Chain A
Amino acid sequence: MKRLPLALTAVFLVAALVLGCAPKPATPPAPQTPPPAPVDPDARNLKVAVLSDARNLNPYMGMGSTETYITGFVYDTLLGYDEEKGELRPGLADTWTVLEGGKVLRFELNKQAKFSDGKPVTAEDAVFSFNFVKQARFPGFMAITANVIEAVLVDQYTLDLKLMAPQSGSLRLLGTTVSIVPKHIWEGIQSPLNFPNLQPVGSGPFKLAEKVDGQYMVLENRKEHHRHQYDLEKITLTVVRDETVGIMSLLAGKFDLLAWRVDPAVAEDVMKNPGQYPNVKVAAAPSSSTTTVMFNLRNEPYNDINFRKAISLLIDQDKLIKDLLLGFGRTQGPGLVAPTMFYYNDKFPAVKADPNAAKALLDQAGYKDATGDGWRETPKGDQLVVDILTVNVPPQINVAEYLVAELKKIGINAKFTPLTAEALRNRQMAPDFDVSLFNLSFSNPDMMFFYYHTSRGLITGGRVAGFNYGGHSDPNYDVISEAMRAELNRDRYVELLKQMQEHIAGVYYHVPVFTADVINMYRDDRFTGWYNQPERSVSNATTYRQLRPK
């Protein structure tokens, strides 16, 4: 027994030693300057770290970011889309025409295009792909192909897509999302939904040379691609799973790029202490995905615009961006369209926080503390506790915390309920919520229809039909948004979109909190040509095309 304390001490000593060694101050790792030798076999091999494996490579089933990364390089679509200019550009198709008042889309394919097995890409493959996607009923593509009647072969290199109704978004939606697959391989597939496609054959600029499940994937440049424009020979994607480890490996020179949005805290550290991160750069790009406070317009008192407006006056976007995003974010106007979009209506800049105005507005609208308990009641005299639903992760959960504190300061009793993403979606769809944090993006104008149109907020079978969880309903908006979807004239289209923003800015259905930047982290010692694009940061098509070894 006497020895027990002694032994305990010994074990503690060992433990203390372990602990004592760890908290050493950070020593900056030695800068790694790889020899600029032209003989380096890896000189044109871009090494990218990803957080998850590509679990399947079926271009119609893969939904994860690594999956779309790979299939995006391996397969071509008929068209490309230049997000900055808001313009379509050629893909497999050289030209495209809108016929019969928008009910037919005609594409003419490039005659040089070949699949990676050497067979040429013909209109038959494209026709097959569209009809296959429609018939196989890939869940992710049902909405995309909903407006398509069928694809029809015109000649060897020409095809028509026959649509049910003219829609402004159809060309972009169908042209840029449906990968064209080789008919000679896919027509034999019995069960398309369960086809993992682990040896993909596509006509894209790269082909998958190697894939080791859960470990890494190698993409190889297809120099024979009909629009050969990449200098990179290889892109190696390594699955790292843990962000910290990815960052450490980038620092050690094992990667050139991390293919995920890095934590603002890390970006801030890199900018403040560049000496500790030799050759490492961060790039922050504005995004269009805005965090908002969404109200359920079906419930009292959230159906009262004054109440919603008062809450919007409590949100100090600048402060939240500084505190929660460490400055890596932008304020967002009530029109909810990001300023980087070509249809942005600049009449609706971000609202400045003004708690006193909020108080005045509440007083005026009849939200007063009549019972003397320190909290305001509704104009009808009902007790009021605002319950804000949020997903249980930062920064959303911190936004909810902040809102509760601000509401309490102006005399409104409030609490917040953190939920898992799944549970939150359940509550929003039910719809069983009063106030909820909600991320939305209007980078695709069609979404302005899907988030706000009356039909998308109707309750069928115990759940909200679409994204309009709060049940916004306005006959006038419905008319404009329907007209927008059918408008083929660009100027009138943009005009309608601007009108819709005016409406959105006035209803306070989704009140913007902030728009977090997309931050990428990369090394610039091996390659030049990094291009920071809005929405994407440096991991974008332009960068990949421009990258040249140093």
Chain B
Amino acid sequence: MSGAYFMRRLFQTAVLMFVVITLNFFLPRVMPGDPARHYYEDPRLSEEARQEIKALFGLDKPLSYQYFAYLKNLFRGELGVSYTYRRPVMQVISSRIPWTVALTASASLISIAGGIIYGAYAAWRRGGTAESALLASAIIVSAMPTFWFALLLVMLFAFTLKWLPAFGMVTPGLARGLNLPFLASVARHAFLPVVSMALSGIIGYAVLVRNSMIDVTSEDFVRTARAKGLNSRVVLYKHAFRNAMLPLVTRIGLSLSGIIGGAVIIETIFSWEGMGLLIIEASRSLDYPLMQGTMLILATITVLANFATDLVYAQLDPRVQLK
């Protein structure tokens, strides 16, 4: 990878980050009302008391002053204090991330693994039932709202069959840590949300893998390999597969922010205490620092993931750098 390309992308990323940070500061402030209002909402308050509270939150200062204070804090890694938790936003968010990642990462891994296997199989057996089934389910999955599918799963497995818990992350009262009952309980609770998310994931990745496998197998070097008399399975896995992974890398890179950001609706349905639920909770309780914090974290991850994906991609496919 050329240094110039790296520097160019780095510069673009830095500028984008700065704009996002700035927007994140101004967005809530251009909205009607002001961020700390629910604190002085008590209408028994006198106007003086109201001004005092504003001052307490630094809202009496000019916007430019507030902006620089915000930048300064950000530079020190501080995202402010949550209105409702009375704890640093960073602390609240970091307590949620492991739970979200547990959910989304396992769904992702299942999706990727399942997608690669299914997709490769469908490509290998072109024109077979597996391929037709993939196409049919891909069309169905893309037209069906994921949350509706999740509701159906809850209805069937939690309420009718009563096999699995309908909500939550763990049975209360279990000792936390790396012990079997605790982990088993988490796994039981995570089953339905993971399945709801993985269904469309598997199908999505499978379509991607199948398509790129077929692209690649029609390319010259595979034909050459075949012509040399190599067995088709070796060709498939050794030559075609590696090249077919390129689009997969991009897709996985793009999905990274989703792993942290969680799936808002799925987490809502299953009461999964992750980032998605935190976003909803913050907006319902008008906890602006928390809202801004989650937005900023998610945006930052997206920006960095895009940056990293570009770099990896450039490494794999040197033609990109010329663009």
Contacts and interface: CB of A to CB of B under 8 A. Distances in A.
The short answer to whether A and B are in direct contact, CB under 8 Å, is yes
Interface of A: 3-4, 6-8, 10-12, 15, 18-19, 21-22, 24, 55-56, 58, 61, 63-64, 137, 139-140, 142-143, 146, 193-197, 212-216, 236, 238, 240-242, 245, 248, 422, 425-426, 450, 456, 460-461, 464-467
B85 interface: yes
A19 B152 contact: yes
A409 B95 CA distance: 56
A56 B152 contact: no
Given A55-B85, A212-B176, A466-B43, 14 more contacts: A4-B135, A22-B159, A142-B42, A143-B49, A146-B45, A146-B49, A193-B81, A194-B81, A195-B86, A213-B95, A216-B172, A242-B166, A242-B271, A467-B44
Contacts of B145: none
A24 B162 CA distance: 12
Contacts of B85: 55-56, 196
A461 B95 CA distance: 41
B154 to A, nearest CB: 9
B315 to A, nearest CB: 38
The 10 tightest CB contacts between A and B, nearest first, are A143-B44, A3-B132, A466-B43, A139-B39, A56-B86, A241-B271, A7-B136, A7-B132, A196-B86, A7-B133
A242 B280 CA distance: 14
A453 to B, nearest CB: 11
Contacts of A63: 84
A426 B32 contact: yes
Interface in B260-304: 271, 273, 277, 286
A216 B174 CA distance: 11
Contacts of B133: 7, 10-11
Interface string B126-142: 00010011011101100
Interface of B: 32-33, 39-47, 49, 52-53, 56, 81-82, 84-87, 95, 129, 132-133, 135-137, 139-140, 152-153, 155-156, 159-161, 166-170, 172-173, 176, 271, 273, 277, 286
B43 A21 contact: no
A460 B47 contact: yes
B257 to A, nearest CB: 23
Given A18-B156, A55-B86, A7 B135 contact: yes
Contacts of A24: 160
B70 to A, nearest CB: 16
Contacts of B170: 215
Contacts of A241: 167-168, 271, 277
A58 B286 CA distance: 19
B160 A21 contact: yes
Nearest to B127: A3
Contacts of A18: 152-153, 156
Contacts of B86: 55-56, 58, 61, 193-197
B156 A11 contact: no
Nearest to A425: B41
Question: Which of B85, B129, B277 has the largest number of chain A CB atoms within 10 A?
Answer: B85
Nearest to A446: B44
A372 B85 CA distance: 59
A466 B169 CA distance: 43
Nearest to A252: B162
Contacts of A12: 140
Contacts of B167: 240-242, 245
B172 A467 contact: no
Contacts of B81: 193-194
Contacts of B52: 137, 142
16 contacts: A3-B129, A7-B133, A7-B136, A7-B137, A8-B139, A10-B136, A21-B160, A58-B86, A137-B53, A139-B42, A194-B87, A196-B85, A216-B172, A236-B172, A426-B32, A456-B43
